A = this chain, B = another copy of it.
């Protein structure tokens, strides 16, 4: 971050941070008389988003804006906010999303080459909303902005848990608010078919539990996304992850005579389409031909991941086929399959996208490689992204953006796609961008927002903003504001926490549970749901771990305080630490007053040990020498707190321990 930006980033709560910004040292008051005009062709998108801008602005300020809708520039040449653009944008990777925004005392102007660029500018303007004690206003600024990457996506897995249309729509709105532009819709997996096929109604009849989108709903979502300047990429994951498809069509499977039923657990499963069966291609061609027109985007994701080929190895005919076609490995066989699918997709005007397993020596470079594996999956550091770009593939990055791993936003924010690697301009251009991936094995519609947000906003910045915009502290400060503003779009990441705690407590006082929640985080990196068999798709996801989120509020703050105190102890920091320790030391008393329930009992040990440990550390911190028994007690408390509790970890236990050892 340049020096000038650095200074401004402390006063503007913009996310993603724009390419160029100057402070005009002016402010534009938000009054009842505020109006918006639009000048440009094909105004549907801008009219829609500008109307929504007016509602959100009015809702957050309470200003009774007289004009409820934008008008044409002709009808209102003196509008407060003048939006103009030259062309209707196309939802492609070549679209121009740049814009200029200028806010002065007398008004605001947004200019762009395309309507979609104008949408991005409108969101920036809304983020300039500010106030003092007596007025709401837009902070003055002169901004010239454009994205670093053209592909800034969010994938939502609707197979493991189904997420209805309104959940998708509110997340599209949230995406647009941080300038994301690709919604990748993971529609078919082992746990269910979520898209209606009229050609093959058996798919949803037998493998959806009634939870799927009708084609009308798909069209509705795609149209909605388009209004927000968001492309929609469907994913039909084949040839693995095929249990649901094979539940309807077992004859297309690689295990002769097998029957299948919708998978209720999580993991990598054996059922796989038979790539040597002509009917497999007939089926897929028919299905793709039916589905493709619902998605105007030219990219189509065929998955291709995690096919372990067990049923291929066990099937004699498939082995013979491999020999006959000189396919040495299962990878070669899958590439044979992929190339056939690519031809089908090309006929339908689509480019094939697949997870990085599809990148084999024989796979044509017309495919787009979706990079998801790296060191964690046994690949070299940097993973497949750079490799793909060097080999001539267009490519997008999800490795490091797996938000279902429940890791800190800081990690995702620092997941720089290219880093210091030297690439030619051509190679660099092949790196289209990236996607946050919301795999939903452990995520229902009640909790999905708190798994996606606010972390995905930081990923949006990583993909939009320049590489040198990387100050973590500053990002965290801005993220706080952006996060709570998402509530105006109906995002439930904050409000549903209390819902879950009320349920846990049987509608008793939840304050002691909130205290616990604010220091606990769900188990990370798939250590919740070991082996994929602790939870079924219909297991309860209204537990304490579901109320907890990554970057637990008080844990984050406490960890920083302890770090700062250890580095240079001050009375101020100490006082702040004592506030936390006092709160925690008293918490078990409050918790214990609750009428017991089985769900609360599960938290008893966590609550008790936290209070005991905090009390003892508090003694130590206030200069009381600890007795041997107190020391022993503390060791015991800390060792309990270090264990997993009901699928959460205590996210500041190491700070507690450090403090307990500090002299």
Which A residues fall within an 8 A CB radius of B? 48, 51, 54-55, 58-65, 68-69, 131-136, 164-166, 209-210, 214, 216, 220, 264, 446, 480-481, 484, 487-488, 490, 492, 494-496, 498-499, 502-504, 506-507, 535-543, 595-599, 601
Contact = CB atoms under 8 A, between A and B. Distances in A.
A487 B506 contact: no
Contacts of A598: 61-62, 131, 133-136
A506 B130 CA distance: 10
Contacts of A69: 209
Nearest to A496: B495
Nearest to A131: B597
A595 B132 CA distance: 9
> Across chains A and B, which 4 residue pairs bring their CB atoms closest together, nearest first?
A133-B596, A68-B538, A166-B166, A495-B495
A499 B599 CA distance: 27
B507 A481 contact: yes
A248 to B, nearest CB: 18
A480 B136 CA distance: 39
A495 B503 contact: no
B210 A503 contact: no
A495 B493 CA distance: 11
Contact of A503 (B60, B446, B498): B60
Contacts of A480: 507
A139 to B, nearest CB: 14
11 contacts: A51-B209, A59-B503, A61-B599, A62-B504, A62-B543, A65-B538, A68-B538, A133-B595, A165-B165, A480-B507, A481-B507
B131 A537 contact: no
Contacts of A490: 446
Given A502-B484, A537-B68, A134 B601 contact: yes
A502 B494 contact: yes
B488 A503 contact: yes
Contacts of A507: 480-481, 484
Nearest to A220: B214
A601 B135 CA distance: 11
Contacts of A495: 492, 495-496, 498-499
A63 B540 contact: yes
A206 to B, nearest CB: 13
A133 B63 contact: no
B502 A599 contact: no
A438 to B, nearest CB: 19
B540 A59 contact: yes
B68 A264 contact: yes
A214 B63 CA distance: 32
A555 B564 CA distance: 45
A131 to B, nearest CB: 5
A311 to B, nearest CB: 26
Nearest to A490: B446
A64 to B, nearest CB: 5
A62 B542 contact: yes
Contact of A499 (B68, B487, B538, B595): B487
A504 B60 CA distance: 7
Nearest to A537: B68
Nearest to A130: B506
Contacts of A488: 503, 542
A135 B600 CA distance: 11
B64 A539 contact: yes
Q: Which one of A165, A210, A595, A597 has the greatest number of beta carbons of chain B within 10 Å? A: A597
A62 B542 CA distance: 7
A531 to B, nearest CB: 15
Contacts of A492: 495
Given A62-B542, A488-B503, A494-B502, 13 more contacts: A64-B535, A64-B536, A131-B597, A131-B598, A133-B596, A133-B598, A134-B601, A136-B597, A165-B166, A214-B220, A481-B507, A487-B502, A498-B498
Nearest to A47: B210
